[in-house]
Amino acid sequence: MSYFSSDFKLGILGGGQLGKMMLYATRKFDIATKVIDSSKDAPSRLACDEFVQGDILDYDTVLEFGRSVDLLTFEIENVNVDALETLENEGKKVYPSSKTLRTIQNKATQKLFYTDHHIPTAPFSRFAYASEIEDAIDNGGLSIPFVWKSARFGYDGQGVKVIRTISDLKELPNTECIAEALIPFKNELAVIVARNESGEIKTYPTVEMEFHPEANQVEYVLCPARLPEHITNKAEALALKVADAYKHVGLLAVEMFLTKDDDVLVNEVAPRPHNSGHYSIEGSFTCQFEQHLRAILNLPLGKTESTVAGVMVNLVGAENHTGDVLYKNIEHIMAMDGVTPHIYGKKQTRPFRKMGHVTIIDKDINKARAIAQNVKETIQVISK
């Protein structure tokens, strides 16, 4: 099938920043696109060929949208998976598949998947309701501290909380959840895997992630990870095992913990382009967004090696600032060597909202990290 300068139309569920950056690649290849998002101001609206405002959690809306395109993908997991399954049964290609998404959407079923496939992950308990947790603690079946995670609809630090005292349970929503052992880890790592329908599979280099201590959001992503080769090889082999277990088509970002004993455990996965791969736009032979397209269209996968070391800094809304956004001192960071800001197009800022990212590239990862620190301390995402 010809995708380039043809009648083929790619449908994308979700019009946020990941969709916007995916559209850079569709523009490069002249692949026609249709995007749906609930917001009329979605960042993707200006870059696609056709934009539809609609609820991607609504069965009929997703079904109608899917029938209007030739192949369907998504940039966010919170979509109506029943509609995707119906579309597949009608012969529509949906990548990643509804089966994969159904497993990943629910953190409890995702963790059970790892257990069933002998994929190392942190020990956990599953609860239908958060109210059951206190009984489990009283009965000795669960001990504090642990990490509470909502089974559904968590993102960017939402739906995750470290429980250190019984009183911490009072604020939890009474929904399906898991209680996960608090792993004493040295690093959080991620490996992005690309796999196409023919089974060709490639990994990007292991990256290390540094998190904001309060917001539980990634502050810095560093590629290559500053770790011994035998550890990065172990992480990449584990990521390949995970992608193979899912029989995944598209990009799969595998987030991991590196324990104090140098074991690598899978934390969770995202079946789409991911924050941990943003450095690849400036730092890799093939950026993650182009690679996702190559994978879902069953085209040959691109070279995944880095051309240069890269650090990514998330731009998030400053605390105590809500309203029309202002990127204070952006011209100062643009004067720094190897610095490229990416602004997502969200007009309204609020505390810790992802508003953009900055990539810093250099031959030396340590120099790039030092510049990244300077970037972080210089630019401010505030309200006017």
Binding residues for ATP: 107, 149, 180-183, 188, 267-268
Backbone angles phi, psi at 62, to 5 degrees: -70, -40
CB 219, CB 157: distance < 8 Å: no
Annotated binding-site positions: 107, 149, 180-183, 188, 267-268
Q: Report the C-alpha gap between 341 and 282 in whole angstroms.
A: 11
CB 5, CB 30: distance < 8 Å: yes
Q: Are strands 218-223 and 207-211 parallel, antiparallel or unpaired?
A: antiparallel
Angle CA 86–89–91, to nearest 5? 115
- Helix (H) or strand (E) run with residue 266 in it: strand 264-270
DSSP string, 345-362: ---EE-TT-EEEEEEEEE
CB 122, CB 113: distance < 8 Å: no
DSSP string, 71-90: EEEESSS-S-HHHHHHHHHT
Backbone angles phi, psi at 231, to 5 degrees: -80, -45
Judged by DSSP in three states, 123 sits in: coil
CB 339, CB 356: distance < 8 Å: no
Backbone angles phi, psi at 276, to 5 degrees: -75, -5
The half-sphere exposure of 134 on its side-chain side, counting CA atoms within 13 A, is 10
Q: Report the C-alpha gap between 271 and 179 in whole angstroms.
A: 23
